[in-house]
Amino acid sequence: MRHVAIVGSGPAGYYSAEALQKAIGEEIRIDMIDRLPVPYGLIRFGVAPDHQSIKAVSKRYEKVALSPGVRFVGNVSVGDDVSIGDLLGLYDAVILATGAPLDRPLGVPGDDLPGVVGSAAFVGWYNGHPEFAGLAPPLDVDAAAVVGNGNVALDVARILSKTPAEFVGSDIVAHAFEALGNSRNRDIHVLGRRGPHQMQMTPKELGELGHLEDAVPHVDLADFPPAEADAALEPGLRKSVTHLRDFASLAKDKRKTIYFDFFARPVAIEGDGKAERVLVERTRLGEDGRAIGTGETYHVPAGLVVSCIGYKTPPVEGVPYEEDQGRFANRDGVIGEGLYCVGWARRGPTGTIGTNRPDGYEVAGKIAEALAGRGAGKEGGDGLDRLLAGRGAEVVGFDAWQRIEAAEAARARQGSPREKFVIVADMLEAARG
Ligand code: NAP
């Protein structure tokens, strides 16, 4: 028997488990360890609550979770309850699938003012991540700024723009649903440091902005290259740029406006003890395609600033880390003897959920190869259970997690699949039954 520990139960973790089962067959036992009492990482806490069709991929992970030989070991923190050394001693291979849940700092004066939040915190807040349940972002403001031109900035701008009726069918948590419903925010400025041709927002999601109930996107066509230049773009980006151009002709007859400010780089957040405005420098594209400041500045009013500029993987003691990339130091997913990484912890925070699949399969193949023909495997889960019991850890296994799920479904608002618990103690109470 081979024993593998996967740390992190998000998409990268579950694709790796699925791949290991395919590569090694019945001779494998897998423990999915998560610091929270519930699995699915980015699916539960990152994917927007109004994008339930994307969240449906968790059905595929559930199949793996239900299969014999796979255990969920929730409420166990690697670094606190167990060390990487412990895991390497107990398992034939350890895969770090810990994602990239830390915000990259904006790094401009004033970025520590109240009212400036990173997307991990803001997205975690509306998705019910226990760490950010108490964030209370200021929504009693007229204007907000969203920094970045990727899909996370797009998610944040859309969530800020929707009416309560547009959240029907979503699993947005109650505190965010209420706060957003009571918000007097009218202007949302999306600040991109480069132009429409350099944006990373994908067309399907961008197109949604043109159909909101009470908000309308606004672009300035002066920011765009001549329309003929769109032909050279790859098809996805070309479609996104077409959506942007179409936004220009939409009637501006709604309560909220989502302003796309291109060539706009935040250089400071200003305000009297809290964020009130962003000082923005106009940029132009350099020869190398990067944004170059022009020295010309202007102010954008913003009592809330959400920076959506990328993430970092949290370092783990004893694991080599690439500070500048914000991920584990690895070669094609291999960190060292018996230690691997997948997903954003391996590559950095890029790519869709599906991008994690080939990652998981590649690393599972390497593990299968490394373990083939080796003698008896290590002790695995029995040893972990003993160690955790000795340390007084309260482990949440599959059945206990199912009790949390059932309790969340029972608490759901009408039209919502669940009302998530946002405090770990409440999850644990539900887990105990
Ligand atoms: P991203 O796509 O890499 O976008 C990051 C944005 O931040 C870029 O526009 C970047 O501009 C900008 N930026 C970086 N540093 C900045 C700075 N110092 N000042 C101003 N702007 C700065 O990352 P993301 O939006 O966090 O998304 C992460 C991944 O998740 C992506 O692959 C994304 O597609 C995926 N995702 C998908 C969905 C979906 O619905 N399909 C939803 C959410 C996330 P430059 O281009 O100039 O560097």
CA 198 to centroid of ligand 1, rounded, Å: 11
Indicate the pTM of the whole model. Answer: 0.97
Q: Which residue type, as a one-letter code, is found at position 423?
A: I
CA 420 to centroid of ligand 1, rounded, Å: 27
CA 199 to centroid of ligand 1, rounded, Å: 9
93: pLDDT confidence band, cut at 50, 70 and 90?
A: very high
Angle of the 11-24 helix axis to the 58-66 helix axis, nearest 10: 50
Section 331-349 average pLDDT: 97
Residue list, ligand 1 pocket, CB within 6 Å: 147-153, 155, 192-194, 198, 200, 202, 205, 265, 291, 308-310, 349-352
DSSP for 102-152 reads EEPP--STTTTSTTEEEHHHHHHHHTT-GGGTT-----SSSEEEEE-SSHH
Pocket test for ligand 1, best of 111, 116, 200, 281 (most atoms within 8 A of CB): 200
Section 268-280 average pLDDT: 98
**Kind and range of the H or E element at 331?**
none
Dihedrals phi, psi of 160, to nearest 5 degrees: -65, -20
CA 377 to centroid of ligand 1, rounded, Å: 42
- Residue 34, phi-psi category: left (phi > 0), alpha (psi -120 to 50), beta (remainder): beta
For 373-402, write each residue's pLDDT tens digit: 777 789 999 999 999 999 999 999 999 999
Residue 374: the pLDDT is 78
Residue 373: the pLDDT is 79
Percent of the residues in the chain that have a pLDDT greater than 70, as a whole number: 100
Residue 375: the pLDDT is 72
- How far does the chain reach from its first CA to its final CA, in angstroms? 33
* Nearest residue (CA) to ligand 1, atom 10: 148
For 10-63, write each residue's pLDDT tens digit: 999 999 999 999 999 889 999 999 999 999 999 999 999 999 999 999 999 999
Q: In what order do the strands lie in the sheet with 187-191?
A: 116-118, 304-307, 143-147, 187-191, 256-261, 215-218
CA-350 nearest atom, ligand 1 = 32
Pocket test for ligand 1, best of 193, 279, 285 (most atoms within 8 A of CB): 193
Q: Say which residues have a Cβ less than 8 Å from residue 381's Cβ, sequence separation at least 6.
A: 3, 29, 31, 71, 73
The mean pLDDT of the chain is 96
Whether the per-residue pLDDT at 132 is higher than 90: the answer is yes
For 54-67, write each residue's pLDDT tens digit: 999 999 999 999 99
Under a CB-based contact definition with an 8 Å cutoff, are residues 156 and 111 in contact?
A: no
Under a CB-based contact definition with an 8 Å cutoff, are residues 3 and 381 in contact?
A: yes
Residue 14: the pLDDT is 96
Rounded-to-integer distance, Cα 420 and Cα 405, Å:
8
**Kind and range of the H or E element at 406?**
helix 398-410
Q: Which residue type, as a one-letter code, is found at position 281?
A: E
How many other C-beta atoms can be found within 10 angstroms of the C-beta atom of residue 341?
Answer: 29
CA 150 to centroid of ligand 1, rounded, Å: 3
For 138-171, write each residue's pLDDT tens digit: 999 999 999 999 999 999 999 999 999 999 999 9
* Per-residue CA distances from 388 to 141, 201, 316, 340 (Å): 47, 43, 19, 23
Do the bridges between strand 311-312 and strand 102-103 make them parallel or antiparallel, or are there none, so unpaired?
antiparallel
Q: Which residue from 171, 74, 177 is spatially nearest to 420, judged by alpha carbons?
A: 171
